[in-house]
Amino acid sequence: MEAKKRGIIYVISDSLGETGELVAKAGKIQFNNSISEIKRFPFVLETEQIDEILYEAKDENSVVIFTLVIPAMKKYIMDKCKEYNIPAVDVLGPVIEALSNLTHREPLFEAGLNRRLDADYFKKVEAIEFAVKYDDGKDSRGIRKADVVLLGISRTSKTPLSMYLAHKNIKVANIPLVPEVDPPKELFEGIKGTIIGLTNDPDKLNSIRQERLKALGLDYTATYANMERILNELDYAEKLFHKLRCPVINVSTKAIEETASIILSIIREEESN
């Protein structure tokens, strides 16, 4: 009989994810080598991020441990885990409910209240606001102001990466690449920030896009998920990256924090030169 794959714990949080990871580690130690790893996904603030994480988790022997406080996000992740038949554990839910019953008050339902309101925190807020303002190419003027400019076709983790780096006090603008649309002229004007190209494997992009169309209730055969279209987009992006001579990261096998770590290393290396 084939041995079952070792388990993977997915820790999902709308803050740093430290609480969920500590709980996961405390549980993991009771099972020797039956659990292969703990994957932590901090700053999950959009349902789209949950979609990407669970799309990976559903093909693993996995369990999800989450510390999300916003009710709509909690319901979404529970429903999605049920759909994919992934066991899910709400770490904070029972505690918040017990305290609400004790105090006869409703909780604030605000993420990240345990962080101190210090100067570093306000820098984070500024960087987060910057990431939101210049997300998905909303305003190309952000390219001149950004510390990092992320370029990539659809479903290359631009937005979650922007938010993760923002929590490292880095101002990020991200630009979607579409063959029919010329890239912003600001990219070629000697900007101060670091340009990073993001790419993905075509087969994974095809699967992710089909899943996205399914979630939106759209036909999975739409052009968006067509392999020929995906290859065309990847070719267009690759040519632009070559023209800009920027570092390129393939996100297909990397967690958000792993990709972010590579970007931070690139920034440090540039600053030291």
Residue 88: CATH number of its domain: 3.40.50.2300
47 known member of a binding site:
no
Backbone torsions φ then ψ of 232, nearest 5 degrees? -65, -45
SS3 state at 58: coil
Burial 55-84 (b: 16+ CB within 10 A, else e): bbbeebebbbbbbbbeeebbebbbebbeee
Range of the domain at 168: 119-272
Cβ proximity of 194 and 270 under 8 Å: yes
Of 24-28, 96-100, 106-110, 164-168, where does mean pLDDT reach its minimum?
106-110
115 known member of a binding site:
no
154 known member of a binding site:
yes
**pTM check: above 0.85:** no
Positive or negative torsion for Cα 24, 26, 31, 36: positive
Quick one: 135 and 260 in the same domain?
yes
- For residue 111, tell me if it sits in a domain: no
53 known member of a binding site:
no
Quick one: 128 and 98 in the same domain?
no
Span 255-266, average pLDDT: 95
Report pLDDT for 1.
39
**How many Å separate Cα 87 from the centre of its chain?**
21
Is 254 exposed, middle or buried, given 0-12, 13-18 or 19+ CB atoms closer than 10 A? middle
- pLDDT tens digits, one per residue of 197-211: 999 999 999 998 888
The three-point CA angle 133-188-181 to 5° equals 65
- pLDDT tens digits, one per residue of 224-238: 888 999 999 999 999
Is 213 exposed, middle or buried, given 0-12, 13-18 or 19+ CB atoms closer than 10 A? middle
156 known member of a binding site:
yes
Amino acid at residue number 69: V
Q: Please count the structural domains in the chain.
A: 2
**Which among 69, 103, 137 is the end of a domain?**
103
158 known member of a binding site:
yes
34 known member of a binding site:
no
Span 162-174, average pLDDT: 95
**Which among 72, 103, 134 is the end of a domain?**
103
* Residue 126 exposure: Cα atoms within 13 Å on the Cβ side: 13
- The confidence band for 2, taking pLDDT boundaries of 50, 70 and 90, is very low
Quick one: 142 and 95 in the same domain?
no
273: pLDDT strictly greater than 90: no
Report pLDDT for 15.
86
